[in-house]
Structure 1
Amino acid sequence: MMIKSMTGFGRGEARDSERLFTVEMKSVNHRYNDIVVRMPKRLTYLEEKMKDMVRNEIKRGRVEIYVTLENLGTGDTKISLNHPLAAQYYQCLREIKNSFEVKDDISVSLFSKFPDVFIIESREEDEDEIWQCLKNAANQALEALVAMRIAEGEKLALDIRSRCDYIENIVRIIEERSPEVVQAYKTKLKERIREMLEEAVAVDDYRLSMEAAIYADRSNITEEIVRLNSHIAQLRKSLKESQPIGRKLDFLIQEMNREINTIGSKANDLEIINYVVDVKSELEKIREQVQNIE
């Protein structure tokens, strides 16, 4: 199982007795599956077959296909001599020469100037034979393209996994820091009350505990941390799938961003906020990588 990048290139060649096909394919990022084929006009009837072949292997990305054809045989035209007409032209030229004592020779170049002396016919080609040759070249290009996309996908997956490890470690630190924030808030509140009263009076511990409990409830980030860890686990699992996962990963990154933003707004702690900034930075780097995954 492996993920695929949307970036790649492949080239293939195939020949038979009559023709040589060269096919080049390149793919780049695209939201949908967009396939563009550029080939000689007389082969446009094969365009949909080419697209179907690519669609079977590539589900997302813009793929540009370039097909060139070199004729090795007689080509698609047949030229023959119209013997009866040429004979009549020749007879007429001889009569002109003899009757008017014209000294110029009757040359081949002179015959070529007469209309219809040469018959040009379109030679019927075997469409199945043409497609088979083109298909062989296209298969080579497609295999090379897919192989490059897989190799690039493996690198992307490795990078994303390492960033997930880093994020998971920061989330663990935030989770450990969270209870300390409540205690720090309680201590700070107690000091502020004493400063406001400007005298060493006893502070009601019960009221302090109530305020701290309200703060703890308001700043509790347990649910967000659980969901964030769940999204990280889903992201890792998705990286092992073979089907296109780009849109799924994009959704998971959005949800992870939502959870970390909530943690930052609820924690009200400078140290945790700094960790949140680090996580958001890593998520943005992952999001950029995900844009290139099929």
Structure 2
Amino acid sequence: MIQSMTGFGKHVVQLPTKKITVEIKSLNSKSIDLNARMPSAYREKELEIRKVIANSLQRGKVDFNLYIEITGDEASGQVNESVVKQYMNQLKSIANGEDIQLLEMALRLPDAMRTDREDIDEEEYTAILEALKGALTEINTFRSEEGSVLENDFAERIKALQTLLEKVLVMDPERQSAVRERLEKAVQDVKAEVDANRFEQELIYYLEKYDITEEKVRLANHLDYFVKTLKSKDSNGKKLGFISQEIGREINTIGSKANYAPMQQLVVQMKDELEKIKEQMLNVL
């Protein structure tokens, strides 16, 4: 079962005096590209948190946000009284004003508030890990649901390619006959004597040069292998991408060898279906 790299997860844990919110968003990327935003007090835990996220999500451009909101009587900062008083005295020397007005202005100036760094509370950190686990569960569920949609789309595209390949198989004898007739007519138009045996040898060589039997067999095998890989338990985005490249290679070769307009039209339709698969493949984990 495949998974998408696109997803979103959010989980909230309420403590007696704080509300902890974890949000995780992911988009497609060739590898894990993690951007983490969290309060400075928890920066020492960043590597541990990154490891947990990377092990769960594996690939993708990931944005991790940790919000800690104080909901009780606890204060996150204190007024730096000495600095504020100095600001007010300086402001008084510049212009007359009420103390309350001067205080409002002083509190907006740098270093008017101070925040004392606190040690990490183990209970709080445990709650953060719980919120992280919940958010990861949500985003992986989201990814699986998106992956299911992609899987159905891939299955339809592959089925369309198999149908087009069947049309190519049916059309191939007609194509070979048309190529042969076109060559014979070209020789007749020249109105020159041609050695029948030599002409037959050249004709066989020409038809063999444009024979697409191997390409048809390989393309059918690649399509079957794609379906088999799609149904595997693991999400194999990179493997499916490699198979898509091989499918494209065989389609291109058939197109270059076709030398027959109706078959080339089928090849164009096959390329269109494959291009849609490749576009969606960028989102597969």
So what's the TM-score if we normalise by structure 1?
0.78
> Which amino acid counterpart does residue 179 of structure 2 have in structure 1?
Y
Give unmatched runs, 5+ long, in structure 1: 80-119
Instruction: Show CA shifts across 1:82-118 (max 9, x none).
Output: xxxxxxxxxxxxxxxxxxxxxxxxxxxxxxxxxxxxx
1:172 is matched with which residue?
166
Residue of 269, 274, 277 corresponding to 1:278 = 269
Give unmatched runs, 5+ long, in structure 2: 79-113
1:288 is matched with which residue?
279
Matched, 1:191 2:190: no
Q: CA RMSD in A?
A: 2.5
Matched, 1:221 2:217: no
SS in 2 for 1:56: helix
Distance apart, 1:130 and its partner CA: 1.9
User: Do 1:185 and 1:212's aligned partners in 2 also have CA atoms closer than 8 Å?
Assistant: no
Q: Which moved more, 1:261-270 or 1:50-59?
A: 50-59
SS in 1 for 2:11: strand
SS in 1 for 2:57: coil
Distance apart, 1:124 and its partner CA: 5.8
1:15 is matched with which residue?
14
1:82 is matched with which residue?
none
Alpha-carbon distance in structure 1 between the residues aligned to 2:227 and 2:175: 31
Instruction: Show CA shifts across 1:159-204 (max 9, x none).
Output: 0110000011111111222222222222222223223228xx9x76
Residue of 214, 217, 223 corresponding to 1:232 = 223
2:140 is matched with which residue?
146
User: Do 1:161 and 1:236's aligned partners in 2 also have CA atoms closer than 8 Å?
Assistant: yes
Cα separation, partners in 2 of 1:190 and 1:78, compared to 1, 3 Å: closer
Residue of 241, 247, 250 corresponding to 2:238 = 247
Alpha-carbon distance in structure 1 between the residues aligned to 2:60 and 2:40: 25
Structure of greater Rg: 1
Alpha-carbon distance in structure 2 between the residues aligned to 1:71 and 1:279: 58
SS in 2 for 1:63: strand
Matched, 1:210 2:201: yes
Alignment of 1:1-294 (within 5 A): 2-73=1-72, 75=74, 125=119, 127-197=121-191, 206-294=197-285
Instruction: Show CA shifts across 1:228-268 (max 9, x none).
Output: 11111121112123434222122111111111111111121
SS in 1 for 2:56: coil
1:103 is matched with which residue?
none
Alpha-carbon distance in structure 1 between the residues aligned to 2:166 and 2:72: 71
Distance apart, 1:208 and its partner CA: 4.6
Alpha-carbon distance in structure 1 between the residues aligned to 2:115 and 2:182: 98
SS in 1 for 2:242: helix
User: Do 1:38 and 1:67's aligned partners in 2 also have CA atoms closer than 8 Å?
Assistant: yes
Alpha-carbon distance in structure 2 between the residues aligned to 1:254 and 1:220: 22
SS in 1 for 2:69: strand
Give the count of matched residue pairs: 250
Structure 1 residue ranges (4+ consecutive) displaced by more than 3 angstroms after TM superposition: 72-79, 120-127, 203-209
Distance apart, 1:53 and its partner CA: 1.7
> Which amino acid counterpart does residue 16 of structure 2 have in structure 1?
S
SS in 2 for 1:3: coil
> Which amino acid counterpart does residue 230 of structure 2 have in structure 1?
L
User: Do 1:59 and 1:244's aligned partners in 2 also have CA atoms closer than 8 Å?
Assistant: no
Percent sequence identity is 34
SS in 2 for 1:293: coil
